[in-house]
Amino acid sequence: MSCASKSAAIAGVPVVRPGGGGGARYELDEEALRRVLLRPGVQELPAVVVSVAGAYRGGKSFILDFFLRYLTAPPPSQLSGEWLGIEDEPLKGFHWRGGAERDTTGIHLWPEPIVTTTSNGEKVGNPYTSCNLKMHFFWLTHTNVTNTVVTYTKANVAVLLMDTQGTFYSDSTIAQNSAIFALSTFISSVQIYNLSGNIKEDDLQPLQLFTAYGKLACEGDDKAFQTLLFLVRDWASPYEHAHGYCGGATLLSKRLQSKPNQNPELREVREHIRSCFDSIKCFLMPHPGHAVEKQNFTGCLRELTEKFRLKLLELVPSLFDTPKLINGERVRVQDLFDYFRKYVDIYNSDEAPEVTTIYKATADICLLAASRAASSVYAACMEPRINGPRSLSRRVLADAHAAARANAEKVYAQKKKLGSQTDVQDRLQELIKELQASLSHYELSNDANVRKTVSLARKAYDTAVSN
Ligand code: GDP
Ligand code: MG
């Protein structure tokens, strides 16, 4: 039996495009990014960001679609391996294709962050995870807002999948390629570096920036980045290094060894790379089978070799347990918006930005995120008081503000922060000003409530008297 024809449903959303208007090198589609990251119920969750980067036509979008299949499968089939799907189902999601032309340019995100849990947490169903538009529509029309909130408060992370432009394509300059690679590494918690056949000397070149950044950022115990996974496709020497993580580990230790005759810069990368990433791994993937060369290949399981399928079962479930951390703090989905904006700005203003500029930007956003978390705590303390059945006296309101502000300041103090003590203090002063402004706002709405209550009471009194 042959596979059903390949049809496009939802696809990745381009959020960063090379060559924006007005002379900018990159264009950030803020509207598209908002639609992905600022979803009610999802935006507050810690983000797990899995990116796939590497040369064009290396099978990046193709493998990402298996990630999607896994993440959107019901939990029992994730455990049993049935998530791989049925024999004749074409592979859908991020657009992948044969031919020699590049397909993805810049950075594409899957439009729906996928709510799930890390392996040590409880797994919950997620209505947003369906690739199937019909089911998605059903959910939208049959779930009320309260249900949504309940669903998401039980879940603990939202997975974002990121597909990036291939490196070293004839249309793109090397600087542009390494900028996209850098951007996607800064933003992701797991960067999958997709390579064809082997880890070659030149493949380490895009990692140079990270060693410099890592040296700057790693003064404390926390590493600047989480996981770097070299994913070697079409590994053809399994008798030397077996397919999977085990063979990957032995190949990696060989490739990361420093030798006297190496290019000095790449030798330095080898020496320092471990100080920037929490974990560096390698996975050796077998060839998927010769059906991939056919023009009408649809990606259905029937066309893939048994070996390839088995290794998908080993690789894919291992990838979604790493929440995005900056300076040891979990990054929420909504905070990623600021990181995208700031990093794209930096790369637009300087083709090869200094690592110190990127470090400073990261520190600023980190402070902003700490202060936002503190504001949320303040609002969570104040809202139930303000929206209670009775209006409050000015004094009670002032006491509630003082308690909420103390909680907010505690949260701000507890968050780990990058940057100088002066910056940390300045941001705290801003936060206090913002909380004071919120108090004025609460006072106004409380006074309006008081007036309403008084006028209702007067009306009731007048009615009673006239009767
Ligand atoms: P991308 O440009 O890196 O995103 O590559 P695509 O995912 O669009 O895939 C390009 C082509 O490579 C498609 O025809 C796929 O069928 C094929 N392909 C996917 N995975 C593999 C693999 O592991 N090995 C080989 N040789 N081809 C693959
Ligand atoms: Mg692609």
* Lowest mean pLDDT segment, chosen from 91-95, 150-154, 244-248: 150-154
Q: Residue 3: pLDDT band by 50, 70, 90 thresholds?
A: low
* Lowest mean pLDDT segment, chosen from 16-20, 138-142, 353-357: 138-142
Over residues 244-258, mean pLDDT: 94
User: What pLDDT is stored for residue 128 in this prediction?
Assistant: 30
Give the number of the atom of ligand 1 that is nearest the alpha carbon of residue 292: 16
Q: Residue 145: pLDDT band by 50, 70, 90 thresholds?
A: very low
* Lowest mean pLDDT segment, chosen from 205-219, 261-275, 349-363: 205-219
459 has a pLDDT exceeding 90: no
For a ligand 1 pocket test, name from 62, 232, 287, 293 the mutation site with the most ligand atoms within 8 angstroms of its C-beta: 62
Q: What distance in Å separates the CA atoms of residue 57 and residue 60, rounded to the nearest whole number?
A: 7
For a ligand 1 pocket test, name from 6, 56, 57, 94 the mutation site with the most ligand atoms within 8 angstroms of its C-beta: 57
Q: Which of 452, 430, 423 is nearest to 361 (CA)?
A: 423
Query: Contact at 8 Å (CB) between 340 and 26?
Result: no
Q: What distance in Å separates the CA atoms of residue 346 and residue 360, rounded to the nearest whole number?
A: 11
* Lowest mean pLDDT segment, chosen from 18-27, 37-46, 378-387, 445-454: 18-27
Which of the given ranges, 65-79, 164-178, 234-248, 422-436, has the highest pLDDT on average? 234-248
- CA-nearest residue for atom 20, ligand 1, is 59
Output the CA angle 117-14-225, nearest 5 degrees.
50
Mean pLDDT rounded to a whole number for the chain: 81
Give the number of the atom of ligand 1 that is nearest the alpha carbon of residue 299: 16
Phi, psi of 52 (to 5 degrees): -120, 120
- Ligand 2 mean position to 292 CA, how many Å? 15
Residue 125: partners with Cβ closer than 8 Å, 6 or more residues away: 74, 75, 151
- Ligand 1 mean position to 126 CA, how many Å? 29
Over residues 138-142, mean pLDDT: 30
Ligand of minimum distance to the alpha carbon of 102: 1
Q: What distance in Å separates the CA atoms of residue 374 and residue 385, rounded to the nearest whole number?
A: 18
Over residues 135-145, mean pLDDT: 30
328: tokens are 């040891």
Task: List beta partners, residue 159.
Answer: 48, 114
User: What pLDDT is stored for residue 285 in this prediction?
Assistant: 98
Q: What distance in Å separates the CA atoms of residue 208 and residue 273, rounded to the nearest whole number?
A: 8
432 has a pLDDT exceeding 80: yes
Instruction: Pick 179 or 198 by higher pLDDT.
Output: 198
Q: Residue 390: pLDDT band by 50, 70, 90 thresholds?
A: confident
User: What pLDDT is stored for residue 215 in this prediction?
Assistant: 65
User: Predicted ipTM?
Assistant: 0.99
User: What pLDDT is stored for residue 7 in this prediction?
Assistant: 42
Q: Say whether pTM exceeds 0.95.
A: no
Q: Which of 365, 322, 17 is nearest to 171 (CA)?
A: 17
Q: Which of 274, 263, 248, 243 is nearest to 201 (CA)?
A: 263
User: What pLDDT is stored for residue 458 in this prediction?
Assistant: 76
227 has a pLDDT exceeding 80: yes
230 has a pLDDT exceeding 90: yes
- What digits encode the pLDDT tens for the residues 315-370? 999 999 899 988 788 899 999 999 999 888 887 876 667 777 777 888 888 888 88
Q: What distance in Å separates the CA atoms of residue 61 and residue 53, rounded to the nearest whole number?
A: 10
- Ligand 2 mean position to 243 CA, how many Å? 23
- Ligand 2 mean position to 16 CA, how many Å? 14
- What digits encode the pLDDT tens for the residues 79-130? 899 999 999 888 888 888 765 555 567 899 999 999 987 765 433 333 332 2
Which of the given ranges, 16-30, 166-180, 212-226, 298-312, has the highest pLDDT on average? 298-312
User: What pLDDT is stored for residue 387 in this prediction?
Assistant: 78
User: What pLDDT is stored for residue 364 in this prediction?
Assistant: 85
- Ligand 2 mean position to 420 CA, how many Å? 40
Please give all residues whose beta carbon lies within 6 A of any atom in ligand 1, as ranges: 56-62, 96-98, 103-104, 166, 233-234, 285, 287-288, 292, 297
- CA-nearest residue for atom 6, ligand 1, is 59
- CA-nearest residue for atom 2, ligand 1, is 57
Which contacts of 334-337 are long-range, i.e. CB under 8 A and separated by 24 or more positions? 334/37, 334/38, 334/43, 334/44, 335/47, 335/365, 335/368, 335/369, 335/372, 336/37, 336/47, 336/49, 336/160, 336/187, 337/33, 337/34, 337/37, 337/38
* Lowest mean pLDDT segment, chosen from 2-16, 162-176, 394-408: 162-176
- CA-nearest residue for atom 11, ligand 1, is 98
Q: What percent of the chain has pLDDT over 70?
A: 81
Ligand of minimum distance to the alpha carbon of 58: 1
Instruction: Pick 201 or 160 by higher pLDDT.
Output: 160
Instruction: Pick 13 or 235 by higher pLDDT.
Output: 235
Give the number of the atom of ligand 1 that is nearest the alpha carbon of residue 285: 23
- Ligand 1 mean position to 233 CA, how many Å? 9
- Ligand 2 mean position to 131 CA, how many Å? 18
Q: What distance in Å separates the CA atoms of residue 128 and residue 112, rounded to the nearest whole number?
A: 6
DSSP string of 96-152, one letter each residue: ---SSS----SEEE-SS-EEE--TTS-----GGG-S-HHHHHHHHHH--HHHHHHHH
